């Protein structure tokens, strides 16, 4: 990792002994902008400043920009692909709700900017009969909730609430009969009953549920000429917490470049504050999202007795995001990250909270799990649907981050952590290694 971090060319302009002309540049002063709350996009320059809409100076600018970037991208994607809208497998969780919301707001923002008739002409000319924006949404967005025996009433209600709020064409399709058919076939072939307490069999029993949900939504997408949205986020992609040909099914992954904590915070923003400068259907807080934000992220693939949650299977999402940032963007190795987690536990960190009671063993386990799963699941990222590049980094190997599919799994680097823990501190271990290298 040290070689990777330092071997690439890094020009040092300040210390270069070359004939470089250095000329100071200053941006000309601009008067303070006048904030306007009008919905109209016809914004003329004022005599004493630049006129802008309210969201452009919002304290939540990150989420305002995210909403508009995704909305525009999703609408442009159907326009340029000559398709007729989107299909979302609406699970009742945060990711599928966010994808549905973003597609709906693409319509709200487009109608706000262009007007209803011009929007329809540009983005969905196949729609000839409509009665307002809700009618448009019902024809552009198709959602489906596909329960299994592990699905709960909470997610069923959340999916129904989300679909109703955004006027989607919604259906419920029970996948349990298909799942039981697959399980019965496998048990007949293997000659024994599958056991949830067997790790290998448990994973297979989970995966078959996700895969059983794929054919129905693909069929809807084919029949309606729409794009099936892949709802996975970047945190899941980093560690392969997704089922290939299951919840990764789809043509486009609009939030695959966005981490899970950001998705949750965005939904909380939309629930409690919302956006302005938009038609009434999308303006202000969307309190219905409370049915989503109050839940702990969960896959609902194991029986309720297992109390399965995403963070229980992986690690706290804030820790996962912190480790991913250090590895992918800062190119830190396992030992470096373990040391930084120790510091975060002792002194705190703005982006991750680690309880002082968290043991060294737990910190090592988190680092080991992340690097092991990251290395093991590159093949999944290679097969992921195309995604939008919205952040300073993403994991799409076609546009940003490539890694070998077959690799050593960071075994040597991870072994260093166990060695370092034999010393009083990581610094003491490094000093010993440095001393050995000089002999």
Q: What is the pLDDT of residues 267-294, one digit of tens each?
A: 999 999 999 889 999 999 999 999 999 9
115 Rama sector, left if φ>0, alpha if ψ -120 to 50, beta otherwise: left
Q: d(Cα 391, Cα 373) in Å, to the nearest integer?
A: 22
Kindly indicate the confidence band of residue 53, based on its pLDDT and cuts at 50, 70 and 90. Answer: confident
Sequence length of the chain is: 439
Average pLDDT for the chain: 91
Q: d(Cα 52, Cα 37) in Å, to the nearest integer?
A: 8
Alpha-carbon dihedral 255, 256, 258, 262, rounded to 10 degrees = 60
Kindly indicate the confidence band of residue 349, based on its pLDDT and cuts at 50, 70 and 90. Answer: confident
Model confidence at 18: pLDDT above 70: no
More confident call, 55 vs 73: 73
Q: d(Cα 394, Cα 41) in Å, to the nearest integer?
A: 32
Using alpha carbons only, what angle is made at residue 305 by residues 299 and 308, rounded to the nearest 5 degrees?
A: 25
Model confidence at 2: pLDDT above 60: no
Q: d(Cα 262, Cα 391) in Å, to the nearest integer?
A: 11
Q: What crossing angle do the helices spanning 199-212 and 214-224 adopt, rounded to 10°?
A: 20
Model confidence at 1: pLDDT above 90: no
pTM, to two decimals: 0.88
Which residue, among 276, 222, 271, has the nearest Cα to 250 in the 3D structure? 222
The pLDDT assigned to 50 comes to 60
CB atoms within 10 A of CB 39: 14
Q: State mean pLDDT over 82-106.
A: 98
Using alpha carbons only, what angle is made at residue 268 by residues 73 and 95, rounded to the nearest 5 degrees?
A: 50
Model confidence at 256: pLDDT above 90: yes
CB 133 within 8 A of CB 281: yes
357-401, pLDDT tens digit by residue?
999 999 999 999 999 999 999 999 999 999 998 888 889 898 888
Kindly indicate the confidence band of residue 406, based on its pLDDT and cuts at 50, 70 and 90. Answer: very high
Model confidence at 35: pLDDT above 60: no
CB atoms within 10 A of CB 164: 11
């Amino acid at each position: 990792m040290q070689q990777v971090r330092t071997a690439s060319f890094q020009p040092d302009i300040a210390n270069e002994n070359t004939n470089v002309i250095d000329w100071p540049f200053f941006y000309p002063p601009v008067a303070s902008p006048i904030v306007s709350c009008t919905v109209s996009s016809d914004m003329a320059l004022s005599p004493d400043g630049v006129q802008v809409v309210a969201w452009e100076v919002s304290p939540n600018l990150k989420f305002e920009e995210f909403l508009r970037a995704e909305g525009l991208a999703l609408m442009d994607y159907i326009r340029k692909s000559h398709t007729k809208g989107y299909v979302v497998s609406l699970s009742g969780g945060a990711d599928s709700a966010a994808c549905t919301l973003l597609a709906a707001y693409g319509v709200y923002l487009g109608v706000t900017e262009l007007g209803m008739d011009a929007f329809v002409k540009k983005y969905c000319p196949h729609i000839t009969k409509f009665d307002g924006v809700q009618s448009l949404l019902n024809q552009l967005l198709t959602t489906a909730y596909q329960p299994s025996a592990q699905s709960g009433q909470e997610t069923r209600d959340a999916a129904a609430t989300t679909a109703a709020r955004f006027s989607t064409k919604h259906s419920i399709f029970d996948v349990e009969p298909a799942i039981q058919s697959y399980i019965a076939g496998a048990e007949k072939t293997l000659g024994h009953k599958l056991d949830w307490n067997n790790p290998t069999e448990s994973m297979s029993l989970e995966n078959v549920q996700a895969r059983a949900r794929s054919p129905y939504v693909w069929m809807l997408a084919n029949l309606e000429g729409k794009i099936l949205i892949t709802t996975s986020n970047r945190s899941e992609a980093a560690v392969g917490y997704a089922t290939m040909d299951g919840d990764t099914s789809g043509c486009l992954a609009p939030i695959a470049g966005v981490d899970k904590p950001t998705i949750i915070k965005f939904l909380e923003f939309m629930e409690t504050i919302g956006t302005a400068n938009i038609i009434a259907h999308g303006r202000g807080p969307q309190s219905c999202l409370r049915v989503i934000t109050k839940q702990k992220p969960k896959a609902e693939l194991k029986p309720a007795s297992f109390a399965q949650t995403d963070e229980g299977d992986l690690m706290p999402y804030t820790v996962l995001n912190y480790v991913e940032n250090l590895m992918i963007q800062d190119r830190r190795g396992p030992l470096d990250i373990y040391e930084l987690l120790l510091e975060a536990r002792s002194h705190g960190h703005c982006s991750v909270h680690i309880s002082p009671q968290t043991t060294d063993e737990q910190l090592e386990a988190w680092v080991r799990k992340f690097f092991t799963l990251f290395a093991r699941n590159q093949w999944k990222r290679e097969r992921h649907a195309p995604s939008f590049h919205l952040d300073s980094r993403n994991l799409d190997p076609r546009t940003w981050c490539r890694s070998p599919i077959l690799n050593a799994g960071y075994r040597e680097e991870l072994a260093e952590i166990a060695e370092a823990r034999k010393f009083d501190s990581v610094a003491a271990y490094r000093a010993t290694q440095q001393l050995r290298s000089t002999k």
